[in-house]
Amino acid sequence: MSLTTGYLLPFSQSATVPLTSTCSCHLASSFSNFPVSSRDYYSSLRNESLVLNGGGSNLCRRFCGLKLWILKSLNVRQGSHRKHQPVKELKTRSEHTFLSDERGFVEETGAADIRPEEVIVGTNLVTGSHKAGDTPSVSKQFLDGLSDVPRGASLCIAVVGATGELARGKISPALFALYYSGYLPEDVGIFGYSRKNLTDEDLRSIIASTLTCRVDHQENCGDKMDAFLSRTYYINGGYDNRDGMSRLDERMKQIEGVSKANRIFYLSVPQEALVDVACNIGEKAQASQGWTRIIVEKPFGFNSHSSHQLTQSLLSKFEEKQIYRIDHMLGRNLIENLTVLRFSNLVFEPLWNRTYIRNVQVIVSESVAQTQKYSDGYGIIRDIFHSHILQTIALLAMEPPISLDGEDVRNEKVKVLRSTRKLDPADAILGQYKSSSGDKTNAILNSVDPTYCAAALYIDNARWDGVPFLVRVGTGLIKHRVEIRVQFRHVPGNIYRDNIGINIDLGTNELILRDEPDEAILVKINNKVPGLGLQLDASELNLLYKDRYSTEVPDSYEHLIHDVIDGDNHLFMRSDEVAAAWSILSPVLEEIDKHHTAPELYEFGGRGPVGAYYLWAKHGVPWADD
């Protein structure tokens, strides 16, 4: 049974020729002519179009003519400004291929015979000349015909502030890790932009010293590193970002060629330079064909008013969907796992409310002092509390989104933030560790910049009414720890009360999500101690990631930059989230600014301010062991 197929292709009436050969391939000298190869088919003209009908067994024979016509079209279009190369000869061992006669395609009606082993003669698509010879595969011939069509970068990533510590230590290694793992296109263009007078090679030397390959697979590490560095370019922006961004745009266009390309700009710049840089990118360097996205580092303003001004400046040049406000702490696996744990496990979701949960504690404890980070006038509240802590609480407390789409998740997060009660200064304890010769730091701390904050937050909605969310975040403490503790209520009328002991809190169920020092999920339960008698013990069901999973955990910058490339924005704060978060913290920040409230001092390497213990007791929450 024969299969009938049809093709409708552009064809001028003047190109119509007798179709009499058993198997032929016609190449006309006019651009509008279409090469036809046929056997047992009929042609007719319909409104300047040629209809080809024939058996399915002749499909590849007819497709040869279509291919040559496409190649000719591409060369003619580019002929005014690009040198053409002749298509190389092709040899193939297919049952249904073509062989031109010795005269080639000089005459439109030149015929070809079908043979077991056939040679397509190389033809110059501009002059019509040809020569015979051994040839590569069909796919290579087709690519050779396109060799003069520029194939530029499909994605360009510019790091503004490329010579800074953050760019060298985190951003560049993250970009290379993505490239090495195959999450960046091979033709990616990486651009470094700063005020220093450097060359491409200078930047490559700076970056090369920070690059490492995956521990779990190091194949072709050197080759990948060389390829990545060869795709890296430097632009000296000078002190006029308007001119600098114009130069960056021109360099990007050179690398992109005529390809449709997307652009990402990572703004690793001081807050005071952010608006000028972003606005000039918006005016001078946005992608002309693809999408443009900018990554903005925290903190997002100094207070509610300055944050609003920053947001308005960004929105004057970009749409909300183009802006990605990054907080590297939100790229940790613990944060990504919050929604998975809640919404994919039936055992947790029915208990996730005020009826069963007694309190929630979010703890970020740094044992190594990072005084430079908090002595720039922003402090730990503006730096960590505003973004990381409140975003963590929002993900913990939000209602199930209708989908995993970023906007759906953000819609639920902002509802939680808007429902959160403004932080009462009486429910916030600020601390600052004592600078001493033994703390190995020489930084001079501002007297009102806190390095520690403990606070009690309440969410006024039906799910969480009356449940305290206790926060401890600080540096220079006794232990390095990042974890979330969800403590459940006591069992009503517990018949084993006498077997638990005097402290009923020791028998309370608890879910612990630990990120550091060892990532783990722990569930604290009561269990009978083996042996005679009835004695209960609080035990932990333990999922320790390093024992369960052998894979290397990507750096948080890797994770978040990958999300930006994918357009996944659920871990990035939207403008209304930023405003809602500042609204929660405004009373405390105004108190600090107005009255110059001095933080409580605590010993470096200690447990933090004593006032934090009293705050926990005030809200009826037992202190988690350090």
* 265 shares its domain with 408: no
**388 annotated active-site:** yes
150-161: buried (b, 16+ CB within 10 Å) or exposed (e) per residue? eebbbbbbbbbb
Question: CB neighbours (10 Å) of residue 7?
Answer: 16
Phi, psi of 496 (to 5 degrees): -100, 20
In a domain, 3, yes or no: no
Give 236-276 pLDDT, tens digit per residue.
Answer: 988 889 999 999 999 999 999 887 899 999 999 988 899 99
Predicted local distance difference test score (pLDDT) of residue 216: 57
Whether 287 shows a pLDDT value over 50: the answer reads: yes
In a domain, 306, yes or no: no
Give 324-383 pLDDT, tens digit per residue.
Answer: 999 999 998 889 889 999 999 999 889 999 999 999 999 998 886 555 555 456 788 988
**How far from the centroid of its chain's Cα atoms is residue 518's Cα?**
25
* 51 shares its domain with 128: yes
Q: Report the CATH number that the domain containing residue 92 is assigned in CATH.
A: 3.40.50.720
In a domain, 261, yes or no: yes
Predicted local distance difference test score (pLDDT) of residue 45: 41
In a domain, 623, yes or no: no
Active-site pick, 84, 388, 559, 562? 388
Helical spans, DSSP H, in 515-573: 545-548, 556-566
396-402 CB contacts, 8 Å cutoff, 24+ apart: 396/338, 396/342, 396/360, 396/484, 396/486, 397/360, 397/459, 397/463, 397/464, 397/469, 399/463, 400/342, 400/343, 400/349
Determine the angle formed by the axes of helices 304-315 and 271-284, rounding to 10 degrees.
Answer: 10
Q: Please indicate, yes or no, whether the overall pTM of this predicted structure exceeds 0.85.
A: no
Q: What angle do CA 344, 346, 348 make, to 5 degrees?
A: 95
Lowest mean per-residue pLDDT among 199-208, 445-454, 604-613? 445-454
* 283 shares its domain with 337: no
Predicted local distance difference test score (pLDDT) of residue 148: 39
Give 37-63 pLDDT, tens digit per residue.
Answer: 333 433 344 344 444 444 444 444 455
CA distances for 293 relative to 151, 204, 557, angstroms = 22, 24, 16
Whether 421 shows a pLDDT value over 50: the answer reads: yes
The number of folded domains in the chain is 2
Domain range spanning residue 544? 329-618
Asked whether 233 and 255 are in contact (CB, 8 A), the reply is yes
Please write down the HEC assignment for all residues of 174-238: HHHHHHHCCCCCCCCEEEEEECCCCCHHHHHHHHHCCCCCCCCCCCCHHHHHHHHHHCEEEEECC
Rounded to the nearest integer, the mean pLDDT of the chain is 77
In a domain, 532, yes or no: yes
Predicted local distance difference test score (pLDDT) of residue 217: 62
Residues 6+ apart with CB under 8 A from 375: 443, 444, 445, 446, 449
Residue closest to 264 by CA, chosen among 354, 332, 193, 194: 193
* 473 shares its domain with 579: yes
In a domain, 582, yes or no: yes
* 333 shares its domain with 293: no
Distance CA 374, CA 378 (A): 6
Which residue is associated with the tokens 């470094």? 192
In a domain, 335, yes or no: yes
The helix/strand/coil state of 244 is helix
